[in-house]
Amino acid sequence: MSLLGKLFGSGKDKNKVPSPQEGIQKLREVEEMLMKKSDFLEKKIEHELGTAKKHGTKNKRAALQALKRKKRYEKQLQQIDGTLSTIEFQREALENASTNTEVLKVMGTAAKALKGAHNNMDVDKVHDLMDEVAEQQEIAQEISEAISNPVGFGQDTDEDDLLAELEELEQEELDEQLLNVRPVADDLPSVPTELPAAVAAHKPPQRQQEDDDEMQELAAWAS
């Protein structure tokens, strides 16, 4: 098959839509062919320029013919450069289209997989499950708090009751200290055991006897 047949396809393949990869491959083959032709034309232009310089004024006719050919080659080279720019633009567009196609395929596959995964899920069941998870987390928190509290310490105890009991103990201790305080015998003045004669003479015998008894009791208590 000729190169053009490879690039543009045979008659029976005209109705077949090529894939982006096939289009990119064909454009690259055309680019390669045009770049080879561009290199060939550049060499031809350099050759004709050298021929024109060689003949110069010695053979003006040959020099002019060489310059004319150089102009034609330059025009062809300019056309090839324009074609290469167009092909490059089209190839980049096809590459982007190919990339987008692959991305869309992957996204389509992912969407189907996601849809299949969601088909196996019931939204109500998911909500019920999340509620159950939250409930279990609360229970776990309560268990952790219960475990962290010291056993048998500070339970069923009212602080006001404890303060009242402490005040009673302090009062009892204060009362006991007051009861233990006794008068010192050495600091008390001595109590006379007998009344002066003048005083005793003026008292009746019974009254004097009572006074004597009281004085004896007082002296006994003081001792």
Q: Is 190 contained in some domain? A: no
Q: Is 101 contained in some domain? A: yes
- The mean predicted confidence, pLDDT, of the chain is 79
Q: Cα(191)–Cα(215) distance, rounded to whole angstroms? A: 8
| From 26-30, 52-56, 219-223, the region with the lowest mean pLDDT | 219-223
Of these ranges, 18-22, 58-62, 186-190, 212-216, the one predicted with the greatest mean pLDDT is: 58-62
Q: Is 103 exposed, middle or buried (0-12, 13-18, 19+ CB in 10 A)?
A: exposed
| Domain that residue 108 falls in | 3-122
Q: Is 197 contained in some domain? A: no
Please tell me whether the overall predicted TM-score, pTM, comes out greater than 0.75 for this model. no
Please give the structure tokens belonging to residue 186.
């050495």
Residue 78 sits in a domain of what CATH number? 1.10.287.1060
Q: Is 177 contained in some domain? A: no
Q: Is 25 contained in some domain? A: yes
Q: Is 23 contained in some domain? A: yes
Dump pLDDT digits (tens) for 164-185. Answer: 887 888 888 888 888 876 555 5
Distance spanning both ends of the chain, measured CA to CA = 153
What total of structural domains would you count in the chain? 1
Q: Is 73 contained in some domain? A: yes
Q: Is 139 contained in some domain? A: no
